[in-house]
C-alpha cells in the first residue's frame, strides 16, 4: 500500500526471459501490492521465468501486439483492485526503483498520470539511445506539443504510472493493438483533461533490451503524427474518432469490460503449479 492505495505493477512482456529477473528484483516490494505479467506469446522462456519468480502471469494464446498486451495488463490490474498502476517494461531498460516516486506522485492526488522521462536530464543519450531515435523523439514530441497544446518533455517513454480513474475513464479499447497505443493513450489523457507529471528516468540500452527496428519505428512515427493531427481536428469539431469518444463500450471498466471472449485470447497461469487454470 502507498498512502492507503493498492499499487499494482504490470509488465507487458515479449521475449523478456533474459532480463525479467533483474527487473523484478529491483521492484520495491515494500510498497508494491502485486505484480502482474502479460506475455504476448513469446517464443522463449519468459513464462517459465515469471513462474519461477512467483509472478502472476497471463499468456496471450497468439501474438497480439504491444497495445493489446497493455489492454490485458490494465484489465487485469483493475480486476485485481488496483488504485494505482505502474507500467514497467521487463527488459531492464528503465530503473524499477523509481516506482516509489512515480506512484507517490499519483497517490498524492497531484497527478493522474506520471511519466518516466528519458529526455529530462538527457538520460537517453547517456544511456545509449541511438542518435536517430533521439532526434525522432525530439521532433515527434515537438509536433505533439504543438498539436496538443502541452509542454511534455517526452511522449514516447514506456515507463508510466496511472490512477485507477484514468484507466476506468479513457476509451482504451478503441486504441491500436500496436506500438502507437502508448501515444494514443497519452493523447487521450490530454483530451480528457487528466493532469500529467514527469520525472527524470535513467535508461539503459543493451542487446537484450527490447527495441523496435527502423521500419517499425517509421510506422510508429507516422502513427504519432496521425494521432496528434486527429486530436487537433477533433478539437476543431471536424472529426469524431472513437479514440476520443466518452462511451462505455470503449472503456476497459465499462459494461463490456468483462469480455466473454477474453478466454479465447489469453489465459492465466498458476505460479505455484505452473499449470494453466
Q: What is the CATH number of the domain that holds 33?
A: 3.90.550.10
Neighbour-count burial for 16-28, b at 16+ CB within 10 Å, e otherwise? bbbbbbebbeebb
Per the prediction, the chain carries an average pLDDT of 90
Residue 265 in any domain: the answer is no
Tens digit of each residue's pLDDT (9 = 90 or more) over 189-215: 999 999 999 999 988 876 665 566 778
Residue 274 in any domain: the answer is no
Mean pLDDT score, 150-177: 96
Place of cell 542487446: 207
Residue 272 in any domain: the answer is no
Residue 126 in any domain: the answer is yes
Residue 275 in any domain: the answer is no
Can you give the pLDDT at residue 142?
A: 97
Concatenated DSSP letters of 208-258: TS----HHHHHHHHHHHHHHHHHHHHHHTTS---GGG---GGGSTTSTT-S
Can you give the pLDDT at residue 235?
A: 97
Residue 76 in any domain: the answer is yes
More confident residue, 215 or 53: 53
What's the domain range around 126?
7-259
Residue 247 in any domain: the answer is yes
What burial class does residue 66 get, using C-beta atoms within 10 Å of its C-beta: 0-12 exposed, 13-18 middle, 19+ buried?
buried
Confidence label for 18 from pLDDT (cuts 50, 70 and 90): very high
Confidence label for 221 from pLDDT (cuts 50, 70 and 90): very high
Place of cell 515537438: 142
| CB neighbour list of residue 139: distance below 8 Å, 6 or more residues apart | none
Place of cell 509542454: 151
The kind and range of the H/E element at 186 are helix 181-191
Return d(Cα 241, Cα 189) in angstroms, integer: 15
Inter-residue contact 230 to 222 (CB < 8 Å)? no
Question: Domain total for the chain?
Answer: 1
Can you give the pLDDT at residue 70?
A: 97
Return d(Cα 237, Cα 233) in angstroms, integer: 6
Region of poorest pLDDT, from 19-23, 48-52, 136-140, 261-265: 261-265
Return d(Cα 240, Cα 230) in angstroms, integer: 9
Residues in the chain: 277
- pTM for the full model? 0.91
Residue 187 in any domain: the answer is yes
Amino acid at each position: 500500500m502507498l498512502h492507503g492505495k493498492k499499487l499494482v505493477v504490470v509488465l507487458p512482456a515479449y521475449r523478456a526471459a533474459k532480463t525479467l529477473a533483474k527487473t523484478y528484483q529491483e521492484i520495491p516490494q515494500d510498497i508494491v501490492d502485486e505484480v502482474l505479467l502479460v506475455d504476448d506469446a513469446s517464443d522463449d522462456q519468459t513464462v517459465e521465468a515469471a513462474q519461477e519468480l512467483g509472478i502472476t502471469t497471463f499468456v496471450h494464446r497468439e501474438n497480439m501486439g504491444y497495445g493489446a498486451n497493455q489492454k490485458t495488463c490494465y484489465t487485469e490490474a483493475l480486476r485485481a483492485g488496483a488504485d494505482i498502476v505502474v507500467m514497467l517494461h521487463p527488459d531492464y531498460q528503465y530503473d524499477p526503483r523509481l516506482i516509489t516516486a512515480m506512484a507517490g506522485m499519483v497517490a498524492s492526488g497531484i497527478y493522474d498520470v506520471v511519466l518516466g522521462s528519458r529526455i529530462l536530464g538527457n538520460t537517453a543519450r547517456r544511456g545509449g539511445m541511438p542518435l536517430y531515435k533521439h532526434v525522432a523523439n525530439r521532433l515527434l514530441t515537438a509536433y505533439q506539443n504543438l498539436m496538443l497544446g502541452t509542454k511534455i518533455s517526452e511522449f514516447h517513454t514506456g515507463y508510466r504510472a496511472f490512477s485507477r480513474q484514468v484507466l476506468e475513464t479513457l476509451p482504451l479499447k478503441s486504441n491500436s493493438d500496436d506500438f502507437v497505443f502508448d501515444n494514443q493513450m497519452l493523447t487521450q489523457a490530454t483530451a480528457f483533461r487528466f493532469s500529467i507529471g514527469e520525472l527524470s528516468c535513467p535508461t539503459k540500452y543493451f542487446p537484450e533490451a527490447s527495441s523496435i527496428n527502423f521500419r517499425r519505428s517509421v510506422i510508429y512515427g507516422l502513427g504519432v503524427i496521425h494521432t496528434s493531427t486527429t486530436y487537433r481536428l477533433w478539437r476543431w469539431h471536424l472529426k469524431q474518432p472513437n479514440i476520443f469518444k466518452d462511451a462505455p463500450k470503449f472503456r476497459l471498466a465499462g459494461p463490456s469490460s468483462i469480455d466473454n471472449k477474453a478466454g479465447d485470447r489469453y489465459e492465466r497461469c498458476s505460479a505455484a503449479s505452473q499449470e494453466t487454470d
